[in-house]
Amino acid sequence: MTSPWKDEDWFPPRAYQEQLARTARLYRRVLQRTVPLRRPDGELTDIEERMAQYSDDVWSFFINAWHVRDWVQNDDSIEQVARARIVRAAEDSRALCLCADLANGRKHLALRTRRIGAELSSVRAGWTTASKDWLLELYLTLGDDDRERLVSAVTIAFDGMREWQRIIESEGLPMPKGFPDLSVAPNVREPICDTPTKGRGD
């Protein structure tokens, strides 16, 4: 299946690349966790609104990351046997199954079919006197792990992106132009304030 769009910088020529590129743009938003304490007019930033916006970006990433699978499955520019291998590899990947549980739990409110089990635990924001920025993190608990251990959404997103790169490149297929460098994992910061958020994945 060929993308109908003409500008290959924004819309790559093959459908699976288009979905990967969209997921990569959302991944970059997930990495943007620094928010100025004050707006340009000098007023304090509405941090609760910004946390809600950041949460939207995170959930959009997980939904789009998991649905690369569907775009591959329906992309007839990839040989059928290769499509089947990619889909099977995605379904066998712990990192991508976490993305699937987070995506489906958020889309449908209730997660009826658990691959691993993962849900939102809290959104946290903090600042220090030496900084002019809020530092955001969104944390999750993982159903197949210690339920008391919090894992940053950034970490799960990074792992999911690396898995897609590994799976796609193992079939000799090109990644979209401008796909992010995943050679080094992003830092996860520990903010000092906590805004608990009830999980909706059960």
133-187 pLDDT, tens digit each:
888 888 877 765 666 677 888 999 999 999 999 999 999 999 999 999 999 999 8
- The CA distance from 140 to 121, in Å, is 5
Q: Write down the pLDDT at residue 202.
A: 34
Q: Which one-letter DSSP state was computed for residue 109?
A: S
State the Cα torsion 114-75-107-148 to the nearest 10°: 40
- Orientation angle between helical segments 47-66 and 94-108, nearest 10 degrees: 120
pLDDT of residue 43: 87
Q: How many residues does the chain have?
A: 202
Type and span of the H or E element at 195: strand 195-196
Give the tens place of pLDDT for each residue, 4-45.
555 555 567 799 999 999 999 999 999 998 888 888 898 888
Residue partners of 168: CB distance under 8 A and separation at least 6: 16, 20, 86, 175
Instruction: Provide the CA 129 distance to its chain's centre, in angstroms.
Output: 30
- CA 137 to chain CA centroid, Å, is 13
Top-confidence residue, 82 or 115: 82
Q: Which are the contacts of 149, defined by CB distance < 8 A and separation ≥ 6?
A: 141, 142
pLDDT score for 128: 54
- C-alpha 131/C-alpha 151 separation (Å) is 24
Q: What is the largest distance, in Å, between two alpha-carbon atoms of the chain?
A: 58
Residue 46 pLDDT: 86
Strand-pair category, 118-126 with 195-196: antiparallel
Residue 109: pLDDT over 80: no
Q: For the whole model, what pTM was predicted?
A: 0.81
Higher pLDDT, 153 or 125: 153
Closest CA to 79 of 19, 143, 14: 14
Q: What is the pLDDT of residue 63?
A: 94
Residue 94 has pLDDT above 70, yes or no: yes
pLDDT at 23: 97
Q: What is the pLDDT of residue 138?
A: 84
Residue 191 in this model has a pLDDT that exceeds 50: no
Q: Is the CB of residue 33 less than 8 Å from the CB of residue 133?
A: no
- Least Cα distance to 154 among 18, 25, 62, 69 occurs for 62
Name the residue among 140, 150, 129, 133 with its Cα closest to residue 201. 140
3-state class of 28 per DSSP?
helix
pLDDT given for residue 198 in this prediction: 42
Q: Tens of pLDDT along 54-77?
A: 889 999 999 999 999 999 999 999
